[in-house]
Amino acid sequence: MIELKLEVPNTNAFYMEVSSNLVDWVNRGGPFISPNESFSYKEAALNPTNRSNTADEFEKGILEGYRSGRVNGDVQGFTSRQGSQVFYIARPMAVKDPKCLDCHTTPEAAPTRQVELYGREGGYGWTMGEVVAAQMVYVPMSEAVRGNPRDLKLVIGALAAALGVAAIVGVVLLRRA
């Protein structure tokens, strides 16, 4: 299941920069969505607006790599989550548009509805250029896929596409809100 931000309190088409990366992202990954695997998508952040986006220890490690500049671009590999082996792809999400700061600077500047829904604590104080989150997609690895590199390629494509889909849905929802 792809978990997306379904509750968006205000307008402002702000996922432009995500969608602009989308074309090459999908081109590289290809639109292979495997119906048998269940994805999960998360924007893992150290200082999230929505607490459920809080980075866990594993995600923190990845995010710190991005934030320190030690690591750039997509990272992929295997890890264990809740006792099962998963394959993941991570990519950095930075504040590239000053519009982001309308909502992520102070509660006073943010939309009232946002503050009502999410409170005054998290998701503020971000700065231009800061890598605020790692986009993460996870998919459980079946034995079959683990044993077969060709299947793994398909899964990588599917995960890449899932990130792209998440970005598109984000754009659409935000435009509509």
Among 95, 136, 139, 165, indicate the residue that binds ligand HEC (CB under 6 A).
95
DSSP 3-state of 36 = coil
Q: Name the residue among 30, 29, 57 with its Cα closest to residue 44.
A: 57
Only one residue has tokens 């990272």, namely 75
Identify residues 132-151 at the interface with ligand HEC (CB under 6 A): 132-133
Phi, psi (5° rounding) for residue 93? -125, 115
Q: Least distance to ligand HEC from the beta carbon of 83, Å?
A: 26
Applying CB under 6 A, does 99 fall inside the site for ligand HEC?
yes
Among 32, 46, 74, 102, indicate the residue that binds ligand HEC (CB under 6 A).
102
Other CB atoms within 10 A of residue 87 CB:
21
**How far is C-alpha 108 from the geometric centre of its chain's CA atoms?**
26
Window contacting ligand HEC (CB under 6 A); options: 9-17, 65-73, 83-91, 144-152: 9-17
Q: Which residues touch 119 (CB under 8 Å, ≥6 apart)? A: none
Per DSSP, 119 falls in state: -
Applying CB under 6 A, does 45 fall inside the site for ligand HEC?
yes
For ligand HEC, the closer CB: 110 or 145: 110
The contact set with ligand HEC (CB under 6 A) reads 5, 7, 9-10, 12, 14, 17, 43, 45, 48-50, 53, 93, 95, 97, 99-100, 102-104, 111, 114, 118, 123, 132-133
